[in-house]
Amino acid sequence: MSGDALIFFSDFDDPQAWKKTLTGELPDLDFRTDPAAGDPADVRYALVWKPPAGFFARFPNLQLVTNLGAGVDSLVGRDDLPDAPISRLSDTGMVSLMTSYVLFSVIRYARDIHIFEKAQRRGEWKYVHPRALSDIKVGVLGLGELGARAAQALAGLGFDVRGWSRSPKKIEGVACSAGPEALDGFLAETEILVVMLPLTPETRGLLDARRLALMPNGAKLVNASRGAVVDEEALIAALRSGQIAEATLDVFTVEPLPKGHPFWAMENVLITPHLASITVPEAAAREVAESIRRVRRGLAPLHLVDARRGY
């Protein structure tokens, strides 16, 4: 009889933490970190972050591939994927971290903290009369598991929040619009833009020079999804001209952001090293275990990814 094994691969995530939490949920699971160990025919589940090319080929019985993260752009673009459902991680820990990053970034602009940071460096007492949050228009691009929660949290604080996605959504307190035809009008009304879109062939370079120019002069941008959704050359030009006054960037087309990149020297850019949100194994393992239980019962896993759509 064949076994029921999981193969783990990541240069980033801690295998021991995952082994402990996942086998805590599924004590009978044969958790493997060495692809060469045991009979590859026993391996039914892969839990991976950027495995090397050809990784999946040695496991003929894969029934589930789980991406160790929310963004699947590096996985779905591969030409060596097995014929198995792909699921992504999503857990309350990851959602809370992302929500906190978005709230911090938006509040920093809304409460003029970026201005006071600069004034303090000059030793200057600079009074800026605060604006009511309800007057400040915040737009969230992407209303998925992370974007929707961030938009709700912003609305809960009293911001004037609008959101944009591919298919129409209803989110309390958030004015939702959908589809390419709605994007120009959405940008024209957005003072602080939060990018929460996955990187797909459709979203790559979506925020180009033309679209950045549609935003009100002096708008702010927060990108915590994927760097390449924004045309970085266009953003640099917009930040230099003042069309975009400030940007908070957690993600970049090339990571780590190379030494000498123009963003490093820009006073109006806040850089964080791709950590707006991370997977918390203790919370995420419950979801992965539930997906495995579902697959064992012949059901679809949680957080299924549509590889053709790209997210």
Ligand X SMILES: NC(=O)c1ccc[n+]([C@@H]2O[C@H](COP(=O)([O-])OP(=O)(O)OC[C@H]3O[C@@H](n4cnc5c(N)ncnc54)[C@H](OP(=O)(O)O)[C@@H]3O)[C@@H](O)[C@H]2O)c1
Footprint of ligand X on this chain (CB under 6 A)?
A: 70-71, 90, 142-147, 165-167, 196-200, 202-203, 224-226, 250-251, 274-277, 311
Return the number of the residue (110 or 195) whose C-beta is nearest ligand X: 195
Return the number of the residue (26 or 207) whose C-beta is nearest ligand X: 207
Nearest to 12 by CA among 59, 51, 70: 51
Catalytic residue status for 58: no
- What is the nearest approach in angstroms of ligand X to the Cβ of residue 123? 34
Query: Hey, which bits of the chain come out as E strands?
Result: 5-9, 30-32, 43-48, 64-67, 86-88, 137-141, 160-165, 174-178, 192-195, 219-223, 244-249, 269-271
Distance from C-alpha of 82 to C-alpha of 145, rounded to nearest angstrom: 26
* Annotated catalytic residue within 274, 293, 294, 296: 274
β-partners of residue 162 are 139, 175
Return the number of the residue (30 or 250) whose C-beta is nearest ligand X: 250
> In the bound complex, which residue of the shown chain has the CB atom lying closest to ligand X?
144
Please say whether the beta carbons of 80 and 22 come within 8 A.
no
- What is the nearest approach in angstroms of ligand X to the Cβ of residue 181? 11
- What is the nearest approach in angstroms of ligand X to the Cβ of residue 180? 7
Q: How many CB atoms lie within 10 A of CB 310?
A: 17
- What is the nearest approach in angstroms of ligand X to the Cβ of residue 242? 26
Return the number of the residue (5 or 249) whose C-beta is nearest ligand X: 249
Catalytic residue status for 240: no
Render 207-229 in DSSP notation, one character per residue: B-HHHHHHSPTTEEEEE-S-GGG
Q: Which residue do the tokens 């309390």 mark?
A: 172
DSSP summary character for residue 166: S
Give the distance from CA 76 to its chain's centroid. 15
Strands 269-271 and 244-249: parallel
- What is the nearest approach in angstroms of ligand X to the Cβ of residue 275? 6
* Annotated catalytic residue within 32, 211, 226, 303: 226
Return the number of the residue (32 or 190) whose C-beta is nearest ligand X: 190
So which residues are the catalytic ones?
A: 226, 274
